[in-house]
Structure 1
């Protein structure tokens, strides 16, 4: 088994994982909502989020791990531990709700360092088009469990929307690239 890449402060990552044996992670809307609340609790203090998508049996996040001095909590735990805490807290709640036991997520969670702006832009479109790729909807605007709608909205958000839109130059180009990429993107080009 290859060594696990540590999450380094100041770097950008594609974080993704799925349920063990591709089992369902989110059975109902409340599951998605609870996972996102736990994400805010465990991940938001130590990372900036640029894109995300929760699917029934897997998820994707595009994040930047904050520099140590940017992290405003007294308890500065390792970024990988923050993700473990998120997965453990969600698993505990999920197991209790559905009367099950044992692990829910594959281990270790996957991470890929993002090294250039082109990859960054393509990854955002890939993440938002994941429901299209899996034939759940025809356009990312129709899927409620991703950051696509937040990116084109004016509502307050912790998502790094301004930076995301700047990568695409403007909102219209953001929409255009997402429409263009919906048929182009394959998981193999990113993983």
Structure 2
């Protein structure tokens, strides 16, 4: 399978899950470590608009700020570093993630807005929490709380700008919404 190249100045949904839907974040410490690695490897390479970590998968919405080969290598370094540390910590071997990380180019502003909402509501959609707004491993609360500092560089202003202002950003997130991508697939 040929993977789509990551093109500079374009937006992508980057996501993956554990091999055979296995848990890839057993605890909050694992999630914090993954975010610290993301900060280390992705800083200067991407602009992150939204993210969410669930026990068996993750989502990022981001813009590529560097050349395609460099961006791909940065992601590879992040995921390899995390998998090696996880395997060592839990005395396991083999692939942690399912195949290569998935990437989907964002082709419209409407799709981008819906994806931001989808990523932020992901913990609610998967039954992880009834209150997605306070979920610790999503960028939502860092977007709405000006004094909170995200563990990774987050372009809050750009994220909110797609909704005109903070009040509308909150309003559309609180609406019950199903996400359907441009190919008509429900997420």
Matched residue, 2:123: 131
Q: Match of 1:122?
A: 114
Q: Is the 8 A contact 1:123 1:190 kept in 2?
A: no
Task: Give 1:136 deviation, angstroms.
Answer: 1.4
Query: Does residue 1:85 correspond to 2:77, yes or no?
Result: yes
Q: Does 1:12 align with 2:11?
A: yes
User: 3-state SS of the aligned residue for 1:9?
Assistant: coil
- With structure 1 as the length reference, what TM-score do the two structures score? 0.89
Corresponding residue of 1:55: 54
SS at match of 1:78: helix
Alignment partner of 1:178 is 2:173: yes
SS of the aligned residue for 1:52 comes to strand
CA positional deviation for 1:177: 0.4
Q: Structure 1 unaligned runs (5+)?
A: 69-75
CA distance in 2, matches of 1:159, 1:140: 18
Residue 77 of structure 1: how far off its partner (Å): 5.4
Which piece of structure 1 moves more, 123-132 or 79-88? 79-88
Question: In the TM superposition, what are the counterparts of 1:131-170 in structure 2 within 5 Å?
Answer: 131-155=123-147, 156-157=149-150, 158-170=153-165
List per-residue Cα deviations over 1:138-180 (Å, max 9, x = no partner): 2321311100000001134521101111111111111110111
TM-score, normalised on structure 2? Answer: 0.91
Provide the residue aligned with 2:31 in structure 1.
32
The separation in 1 between residues aligned to 2:58 and 2:96, in whole angstroms, is 13
Kindly report the root-mean-square deviation, in angstroms, between the aligned alpha carbons of the 2 structures.
Answer: 1.8
Flag structure 2 segments of 5+ consecutive residues without an equivalent.
none
The superposition leaves residues 22-72 of structure 1 with CA deviations (integer Å, 9 ceiling, x where unpaired) of 10010011100000000011112200000000000000000000045xxxx
